Each structure stands twice: as C-alpha cells, then as structure tokens.
C-alpha cells in the first residue's frame, strides 16, 4: 500500500505538539526547557535579593513577594502548563534559524510505501528502506500519522484519497509495525558484508 504526501509548516507544528506532549523524548525536552527558564528566574531573584539584603527584612519580603508574583504570572501566561510552553518556545527559537533549503526539504513530496517487511520512503532523488524494527515510534491521530525513524515523517489525512483509505492505511501500518518492531533482520535481508 502506498500514499503520496506533501507536508506544510502547519503539519510540522502539529508534529511538535504531539512530540512535546505525548512522547518520552518530548517530555524530557519539556522538563529541560522548563528548568532552563526557571534557573534564569531564580538567578535574577538571587541577584535582587543580594542587592536588597542591606535594607533588612522588609526588603527581603518585598523581593519574595515580587518573586511569587512573577511565578504566578509565569504559570498563568503559560496556561498552567509551563513545561510544554517553555519547550515550544525553545523549539520555535531553533526553527527560526532554519534556512529556506531546510524548509523545502521538509515540504517536498514523498511516497510512503508499506509492506509486511519494510517501510519505504521515497522522493524524486532518494529512496530509503527501513525494516520495521528501525521505526522508533508510530502514532495514529485523527488528522495525522506520525512515523519516527531517522527523523519525523508526517502523513496528513488530507493527502489520502478518502477517510476510509486513511483509516485502512493507519490500521495496516500499525499492524506491520507491531509485528515487525521486535524481529531481527533476517540474514537473507541483510546487505552482504564486504
């Protein structure tokens, strides 16, 4: 079974939300980004505290009050999910330095073909063949199928001829992945040693 896909930047945004909120790698990244932002706030708090210390206890209470207010505002503006939003900000900052060539590579048309043994991803100038045990993660959502191999592959529902074909493809790819993810590559399928 095969499908032709063409991604947009919006598809990548949907992948980022999935990655940050539902994968273990994404949750680790969220925690790291959150701790990075919190350490900056704490350093600023300590600098203010050191500057106010000569003024006595009233100065300390004012700084503790300001720190508490800053933290409350931080949680409020992050919709009470600061880890997710800190990670999203960090990724968006990183994406700002992507060149147009990198976006063009993301947005080029791909052919995704699946069989019981392989996942094949092709473009006009390349062909990648992956055994199912090389696929790190696979998720089927209402509008996307996300495949994590050497990087993310995003299959939007809109690129399938119908919803029925999308659902059949999702069911089949999940079945192939589940049956092949723990199988070693057989000797006849491995490339010959030179």
Q: What percent of the chain has pLDDT over 90?
A: 20
Q: Where are the alpha helices (DSSP H) in the chain?
A: 9-22, 24-52, 57-77, 82-95, 100-107, 163-180
- pLDDT-based confidence at 174, cuts 50/70/90? very high
- pLDDT-based confidence at 55, cuts 50/70/90? low
Average pLDDT rounded to a whole number, residues 44-52 = 70
Q: Which CATH architecture has domain 2-7+108-180?
A: Roll (2.30)
Residue ranges of the chain that CATH labels 2.30.29.30: 2-7+108-180
Q: How far apart are CA 52 and CA 15, in angstroms?
A: 46
- pLDDT-based confidence at 140, cuts 50/70/90? very high
Residue 191 pLDDT greater than 60, yes or no: no
pTM of the model: 0.69
- Phi, psi for 157 (deg, rounded to 5): -60, -35
Q: Which region among 57-71, 111-125, 129-143, 155-169 has the lowest average model confidence (pLDDT)?
A: 57-71
């Amino acid at each position: 079974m095969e499908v032709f896909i063409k991604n947009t930047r919006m598809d990548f945004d949907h992948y980022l939300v999935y990655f940050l909120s539902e994968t273990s790698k994404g949750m680790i990244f969220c925690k790291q980004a959150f701790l990075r932002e919190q350490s900056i706030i704490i350093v600023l708090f300590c600098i203010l505290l050191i500057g106010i210390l000569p003024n006595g206890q009233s100065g300390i209470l004012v700084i503790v009050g300001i720190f508490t207010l800053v933290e409350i505002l931080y949680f409020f503006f992050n919709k009470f999910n600061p880890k997710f939003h800190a990670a999203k900000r960090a990724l968006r900052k990183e994406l700002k330095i992507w060149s147009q060539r990198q976006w063009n590579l993301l947005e080029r048309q791909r052919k995704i073909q699946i069989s019981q043994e392989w996942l094949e991803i092709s473009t006009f100038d390349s062909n990648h063949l992956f055994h199912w045990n090389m696929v790190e993660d696979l998720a089927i959502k209402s509008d996307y199928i996300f495949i994590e191999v050497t990087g993310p592959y995003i299959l939007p529902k809109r690129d399938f001829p119908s919803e029925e074909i999308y659902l059949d493809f999702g069911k089949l790819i999940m079945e192939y992945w589940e049956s092949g993810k723990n199988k070693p590559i057989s000797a006849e399928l491995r490339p010959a040693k030179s």
